[in-house]
């Protein structure tokens, strides 16, 4: 019997998108279930609540009935289970540790800082903008002249960061910054990622993401 792979996600979620990119890279067929309820988290599906009883968040990968939670853990799980596809993490323990370090850096920094950047105004927003530029410059330095973060092959750190390519326009528009001017090599990396089917088919139009953020701002009364 074919194995059953289900992903509980939310279209705009960079966390769910990481899992979708990893599944596409490995060529895994799966059923996608959208949890989108207009950001109304009071109405989560029983399957989500039962699959992720601790955090009650998407994404959740359900593999043959067994749930796996947290996007980066899911991406590592995908790499280990579908190991016949091109590896997402290197084999060498030190290189693996470094790869996880940068994945963790992206995970801790971008979403949090980016959210402050679009939610806040005035000085606090300018502070978030400065912080985001520092974060992006650190990532650009780590990328260096490589094609992808791991070298020639697209992998774990790329997958961790790639969903935010579709958020750059929102960050730029909300806080008046230019990713191209600040971090041209990282901007070029983003364009290279978008040439991959796994990324291009997963990410949404940056304008749609911006529109979504504008709706949220209206909802929260922070326009
Ligand atoms: C974050 C998941 C998350 O925030 C991961 O998987 O990497 N560390 C986790 N998911 C959000 C949707 S994306 O903004 C979510 O499900 N939120 C529901 C809630 O806050 O109740």
CA 114 – CA 168 distance, rounded (Å)? 9
Query: How much is the pLDDT for 186?
Result: 98
Q: What are phi and psi of 26, to 5 degrees?
A: -90, -5
Q: Is the CB of 13 under 6 A from ligand 1?
A: yes
- Token pair for residue 39? 């950001």
Q: What are phi and psi of 196, to 5 degrees?
A: -85, 135
Q: Let me know how many helices (H) and strands (E) the chain has, helices first.
A: 11, 4
- Cα distances from 145 to residues 152, 156, 173, 186, 188, in angstroms, run 10, 18, 28, 10, 11
In the reported structure, the alpha carbon of residue 124 is separated from the centroid of ligand 1 by a whole-number distance in angstroms of: 24
Whether omega before 151 lies within 30 degrees of 0, making that bond cis, reads: no
**8 A C-beta contact, residue 96 and residue 181:** no
Give the closest residue (by CA) to ligand 1 atom 17.
57
For the segment 14-65, what is each residue's pLDDT rounded down to a tens digit?
A: 999 999 999 999 999 999 999 976 667 788 999 999 999 999 999 999 999 9
Q: Is the CB of 15 under 6 A from ligand 1?
A: yes
Give the closest residue (by CA) to ligand 1 atom 7.
71
Q: Is the CB of 36 under 6 A from ligand 1?
A: no
What is the residue-wise DSSP string for 65-107? TEEEESHHHHHHHHHHHTTTS--SS-SSHHHHHHHHHHHHHHH
Atom of ligand 1 nearest to the CA of 13: 13
For the segment 59-116, what is each residue's pLDDT rounded down to a tens digit?
A: 999 999 999 999 999 999 999 999 998 999 999 999 999 999 999 999 999 999 999 9
For the segment 196-213, what is each residue's pLDDT rounded down to a tens digit?
A: 999 999 999 999 999 999
CA 59 – CA 156 distance, rounded (Å)? 17
CA 166 – CA 168 distance, rounded (Å)? 6
Q: How far is CA 17 from the centre of its chain?
A: 5
Percent of the chain scoring above 90 in pLDDT: 92
Q: How far is CA 177 from the centre of its chain?
A: 21
Atom of ligand 1 nearest to the CA of 58: 16
In the reported structure, the alpha carbon of residue 31 is separated from the centroid of ligand 1 by a whole-number distance in angstroms of: 19
In the chain, CATH 3.40.30.10 sits at 5-81
Short-list 192, 211, 193, CA closest to 202: 193
Query: How much is the pLDDT for 202?
Result: 98
Q: Does domain 93-219 have CATH number 3.60.21.10?
A: no
Query: How much is the pLDDT for 39?
Result: 63
CA 139 – CA 150 distance, rounded (Å)? 12
In the chain, CATH 1.20.1050.10 sits at 93-219
Give the closest residue (by CA) to ligand 1 atom 13.
13
What is the residue-wise DSSP string for 1-68? -PPPEEEEE-TT-HHHHHHHHHHHHHT---EEEE--STT-GGG--HHHHHH-TTT--S-EEEETTEEE
Instruction: Determine the CATH number of domain 5-81.
Output: 3.40.30.10
In the reported structure, the alpha carbon of residue 166 is separated from the centroid of ligand 1 by a whole-number distance in angstroms of: 17
In the reported structure, the alpha carbon of residue 154 is separated from the centroid of ligand 1 by a whole-number distance in angstroms of: 24
Residue-averaged pLDDT of the chain = 96
Atom of ligand 1 nearest to the CA of 72: 7
């Amino acid at each position: 019997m074919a194995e059953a792979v289900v992903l509980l996600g939310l279209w705009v979620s960079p966390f769910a998108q990481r899992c979708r990119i990893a599944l596409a890279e490995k060529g895994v067929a799966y059923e996608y279930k959208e949890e989108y309820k207009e950001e109304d988290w009071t109405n989560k599906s029983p399957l989500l609540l039962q699959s992720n009883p601790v955090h009650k968040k998407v994404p959740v990968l359900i593999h043959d009935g067994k749930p796996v939670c947290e996007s980066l853990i899911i991406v590592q799980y995908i790499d280990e289970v579908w190991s016949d596809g091109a590896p997402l993490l290197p084999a060498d323990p030190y290189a693996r540790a470094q790869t996880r370090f940068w994945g963790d850096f992206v995970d801790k920094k971008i979403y949090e800082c980016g959210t402050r950047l679009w939610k806040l105004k005035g000085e606090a927003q300018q502070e978030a903008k400065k912080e985001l530029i520092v974060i992006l410059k650190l990532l650009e330095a780590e990328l260096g002249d490589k094609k992808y973060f791991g070298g020639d092959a697209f992998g774990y750190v790329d997958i961790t960061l790639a969903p935010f390519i579709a958020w750059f326009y929102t960050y730029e528009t909300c806080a008046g910054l230019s990713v191209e001017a600040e971090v041209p090599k990282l901007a070029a990396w983003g364009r290279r990622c978008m040439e991959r089917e796994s990324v291009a088919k997963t990410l949404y139009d940056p304008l749609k993401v911006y529109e979504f953020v504008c709706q949220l701002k209206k909802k929260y009364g922070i326009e």
